[in-house]
Structures are given as structure tokens and as C-alpha cells.
Structure 1
Amino acid sequence: MASSQVISQGLDIVDSIDAVRFDTTHHVFRADYDASRESVALATVAVVATAEDRDPADLAPLQSAIDTDALESLFAASDDVSNGCRLTFEYEGFEVTVFSGGVIEAVPMDAPNPRLDAAAGVEPTIEDASQANTVPEHADD
């Protein structure tokens, strides 16, 4: 069961985001926003700024990472929020995924991410310093 904690409430630049939550199991920042009231680009900047605990004005322009006009067009509010559309891109050290229906997730690129590892076919590894110099029992010499 994933646990989460509220990182920020009442974001100033996006009225429809009440909170950004951090999923401690999957290392994901997540926020819901109202696509009929807010710009997806502005909501994305708000989520990443909150995750970084930085002023949004101190971040690189989102246009440096993605065509914001195309982003807005793709996720413009519509009656069909269940179209299953999602877009992932890198911004300010995060892998950001915008989902139709008004959800934004930001994963720190240097954080362990079991979900992304599983999708890439990477097995999780655990390094134990006490076993670093041991030879596996099944090794043939």
C-alpha cells in the first residue's frame, strides 16, 4: 500500500491545485488540477516548483523543455477527459507526466523508481556491504 504525504497546500499560482502529494513508495509527486480553469503549462510549473521547494520564477521556462502551445492543445479541457492521453517529458531534473483528466506527476530523475524500473525490465537490486566481497555458493572455479 502506497503512503503519501502532503508537500504543499494552497499553491499561489494555480488556484485549482489544493495540494501536491508525495508518494513515498514510488517517489512520485502528484497533483490534480482543473483543466477547465488552469493552463496545463502553469500547473506543471507549479508542481515542479513545489517538489523542488523553489519559486516558480526561478525555474527554467517550460518552453525550454517542451512546446507549450502543443502541450496546451493536447490537454485542452474537453468533455472527454477519459481519452487516456498522457505525455512524458523531462523538466528541471524531473520526469513529468501529464495525464488527461487533470493529473500531473513528477518523478525526480535521480530517485529510485520501482514503477519505471519494472516498465524498463530492470530488476531491483539491493546492495549489502556485508556481502560485497562474498562469492556466490554456486560459483564454479
Structure 2
Amino acid sequence: MIHSDLGADVEYDARSNTYRFQRGEHCETNTSTAVVTAVAEAVDREPTELEPLEEQIDSDALDMFFDPDASENGRDRACRVTFPFAGCEVTVNQGRSIVVSAPE
């Protein structure tokens, strides 16, 4: 396990070519920014080199459902969303994890 610039622990699974970013309890980075950072790390590019996240998903909605204070706003934290982004498949889960299936 390694620690990323995102403030998350990262596990890489070579069999499935996936990266699992587990954001720490005190990570205050919003979910949409965390997704961009995680994908950039997985594909070894700068976040500014990636397409805008908004071309694939509503980043405000992503933040609303998955940011740390979402449960305080009455949102159901038991949800998951999967979408394509920058040639990867991204899954954001409850519990502050982001899974990135990197391209081959």
C-alpha cells in the first residue's frame, strides 16, 4: 500500500489493473477533485491534462452525494456510482473510496 498526493492510501491490483484510493477520515478534498486526482495518478498524468470531469458526470451531484458532510445533509451514504473518465472506469463508493480501472 502506498500513500498518494490525494491524502489517500492506494492499493494496486495488477490482475485487474485497478487502483483503490481510500480517502482518510480527515481528508477534506471534495469528491470531484479527488476523482480527478485519483485518475491522474492512475494514468500518470497531471490533473490539468485530463478532460474536464463535467464532460462525463455532474460534479456538483457527485460532491453532494459523496462528500464528508453528505450524511449530515440527510443524504443516503449507501450508494455507488460508476462512470467513464479519461479512458478509465471510475467507481465512487460510500466509505470514501474511489476505484479506478486504468486502461491497458
The letter of the residue matching 1:33 is R
Q: Is the 8 A contact 2:10 2:21 kept in 1?
A: yes
Deviations 1:74-124 (A, max 9, x none): 1132369x943100000001110000110000112x54xxxxxxxxxxxxx
Question: How many Å separate the matches in 2 of 1:83 and 1:68?
Answer: 17
Regions of 4+ moved over 4 Å: none
> In the superposition, relative to structure 1, how do residues 88 and 10 fare at CA in structure 2: closer, same or farther (>3 Å)?
closer
Report the CA distance between 1:32 and its aligned residue.
Answer: 0.9
Q: Give the greater-gyration-radius structure (CA).
A: 1
Greater percentage in strand: 2
Question: How far apart, CA to CA, are the structure 2 residues paired with 1:43 and 1:52?
Answer: 14
Higher helix share: 2
CA–CA separation in structure 2 for the residues paired with 1:23 and 1:43: 20
In structure 1, runs of 5+ residues without a counterpart are 112-141
Q: Give 1:100's aligned residue.
A: 94
**Which residue type is aligned with residue 107 of structure 1?**
S
Q: Which amino acid aligns with 1:72?
A: D
**Which structure's relative contact order is higher, taking Cα pairs within 8 Å and 6+ residues apart?**
2
Deviation at 1:24, TM superposition (A): 1.1
In the alignment, is residue 66 of structure 1 matched against residue 66 of structure 2? no
Counterpart AA for 2:99: E
**Contact 2:65/2:77 (8 A) holds in 1:** no
Structure-2 residue corresponding to 1:115: none
Q: Offset of 1:46 from its aligned partner?
A: 0.8
Fraction of identical pairs, as percent: 32
- Determine whether 1:27 maps to 2:17: yes
Q: How many residues align?
A: 99
Equivalent-residue separation in structure 2 for 1:91 and 1:83 (angstroms): 22
Q: Give the structure-1-normalised TM-score.
A: 0.61
In the aligned structure 2, how far is the partner of 1:29 from the partner of 1:76?
Answer: 20
Residue 38 of structure 2 is matched in structure 1 by 47
Q: Which runs of 5+ in 2 are unaligned?
A: none
TM-score, length-scaled by structure 2: 0.81
